[in-house]
Amino acid sequence: MSVSAPAPLRCLLVDDEPLAHTVMRAYLDRLPGLVTWAGSCYGAVEALTFLRTTPVDVLFLDVDMPELTGLELLRALPQPPAVVLCTAHAAHAIDAYDLGVVDYLLKPIRFERFVKTISRLQAGSPPTSPAPAPAPPVAQAPPAADSIFLKTDAGTERVRFADLHIVEGYGNFVKCHLASGRMLLTAETMKQMESQLPATQFMRTHKSYLVNLASVERLSGNVLLVGAREVPVGSTYRQEVLRQLHLR
């Protein structure tokens, strides 16, 4: 009985460097029948949108990208495909294996090393990630007076106001930075978030930032230290920030 060969692995590359796409595409083209090119994304949010509608088997993922890093993208995916990190920095290795990546390629990536990665992926027979189905409507209880519901790709999560340090606008999304160090990416606008958060606990410091007043550690010039992160204070909001902090 003849055994059919496994289908080629569908590969997506996420990297903000055009040269990386050129190199990886050339490598994939040298392995016909084993791998196929599913697409290119030059940023993490673009990849997040792509993966919502297009199934892939392997995600070749850069780490150091502006605004949203590869590791932040990986944490935001509820069911990521097999992931191979591609980076110039070995320091990310511990985080990579904590997140269950299949392999870790250091740039510049040699073709021989790339072939070894593909062999490892073929041997592991990573399951194809299905195209996500639309989530059925969920009847939600109203949030408690001390919390908010946030919709993410992983589902709907209740977040206590006390645990929400910073809300950061990010294009068509919002990053919610929590006290634990986690970051939740949700398809809300800054205006929607501001309307849902109590004005007695949260203040706008910039067109792209809302902060928890209880988490503010220091004001230095036009920069607030909120938890362990620095947040800008826009000129339009400075007087209100000073008033909220009882500095005027």
Q: What is the pLDDT of residues 109-124, one digit of tens each?
A: 889 999 999 998 988 7
Same domain flag for 183 and 221? yes
DSSP state of 34: T
Read off the pLDDT of residues 51-60 as tens digits, 9 standing for 90 and up: 989 999 999 9
| 230 in the same domain as 167 | yes
The pair of structure tokens assigned to 54 is 């297009």
Strand order in the sheet with 82-87: 35-41, 9-14, 58-62, 82-87, 103-106
Q: Kindly state the average pLDDT of the residues 39-61.
A: 93
Are the C-beta atoms of 211 and 203 separated by less than 8 Å? yes
pTM score above 0.75: no
Asked if the structure places residue 143 within a domain, the reply is no
Q: Which amino acid is at 231?
A: V
Whether 130 has a pLDDT exceeding 50, the answer reads: no
- Quick check: 171 pLDDT over 70? yes
Query: Tell me, what's the pLDDT at 146?
Result: 85
Q: Is the dihedral of CA 51, 57, 62, 63 positive or negative?
A: positive
Residue 143, pLDDT score: 46
Answer yes or no: do 183 and 224 share one domain: yes
d(CA 219, CA 241): 10
Higher-scoring residue by pLDDT: 42, 171: 42
Q: In the prediction, which pLDDT does 123 show? A: 83
Separation CA 49–CA 47 (nearest Å): 5
The CA distance from 185 to 17, in Å, is 23
What is the total residue count of the chain? 248
Q: By the 8 A CB rule, do 58 and 12 touch?
A: yes
Integer Cα distance of 94 and 104 in angstroms: 10
Does some domain include residue 233? yes
Q: What residues make up the domain containing 231? A: 152-244
Residue 15 lies inside a defined structural domain of this protein: yes
Q: Does 130 fall in a domain?
A: no
Asked whether residue 157 is domain-assigned, the answer is yes
- Cβ-based neighbours of 163, under 8 Å, separated by 6 or more: 178, 179, 180
233 in the same domain as 185: yes
Q: What percent of the chain has pLDDT over 70?
A: 85
Verify that 226 and 160 share a domain, yes or no. yes
Q: Is residue 118 part of a domain?
A: yes
Instruction: Tell whether 26 and 100 lie within a shared domain.
Output: yes
CATH number of the CATH domain containing 80: 3.40.50.2300
Confidence of residue 92 (pLDDT cuts 50, 70, 90): low
Residue 142 confidence (pLDDT) above 70: no
> What pLDDT, on a 0 to 100 scale, did the predictor assign at position 100?
81
What is the number of structural domains in the chain? 2
Average model confidence (pLDDT) across the chain: 84
The answer to whether the peptide bond before residue 80 is cis (omega within 30 degrees of 0) is: no
118 and 160 inside one domain: no
User: The domain spanning residue 188 has which CATH number?
Assistant: 2.40.50.1020
